[in-house]
Amino acid sequence: MAKDRESKKCAKPGCRAWAMRGEELCYAHLRKRGLYRRFFTDEEVQEIEEVASSNELTLDDVIEVLKVLIGRVVDREEDSSKALPLVERGVRSLVSALKARRALSGEAADGLAAAFAQALDELSTELGIEL
């Protein structure tokens, strides 16, 4: 372990592993929280998990969470080579959710391009960037 950086134990009670750099938890406990754990506070993660486990999470909720996640990745990641794959995964998930919402609403599939364009416009507005 390098002496020039601070090391700390995982914050999970009973865990003896070292926390990941810049995090409170070790790799195993971070992984259990999933990708979104890096971009949401512990309170937000807990609220999402509670809503998801109660089967009250709607497709519109998922779409909103994805928009927030994409925005936070763009805001947080200084290195675009790290941000791009995460944003790509987020946009793919967003497109899938929009497709599902469109299919469930009974609208014609030929309007999917318009829905995607609208989602990107909303995301662009929220982030204050031109896509």
Across the chain, which has 131 residues, the per-10-residue mean pLDDT values are 66 88 81 66 77 77 82 76 79 84 68 76 78 63
At residue 108, the pLDDT reads 53
Q: What three-state secondary structure class fits 9?
A: strand
- Cross-strand bridge partners of residue 8: none
At residue 4, the pLDDT reads 47
Secondary structure percentages of the chain, helix, strand, coil, to 5: 65, 0, 35
At residue 131, the pLDDT reads 63
What domain range is 18 assigned to? Answer: 9-34
Same domain, 62 and 99: yes
Same domain, 57 and 113: yes
pTM for the whole structure: 0.48
Considering the domain boundaries, does residue 2 fall inside one? Answer: no
Same domain, 123 and 68: yes
Give the span between the Cα atoms of 48 and 67, in whole angstroms. 14
At residue 99, the pLDDT reads 83
Considering the domain boundaries, does residue 39 fall inside one? Answer: no
At residue 88, the pLDDT reads 83
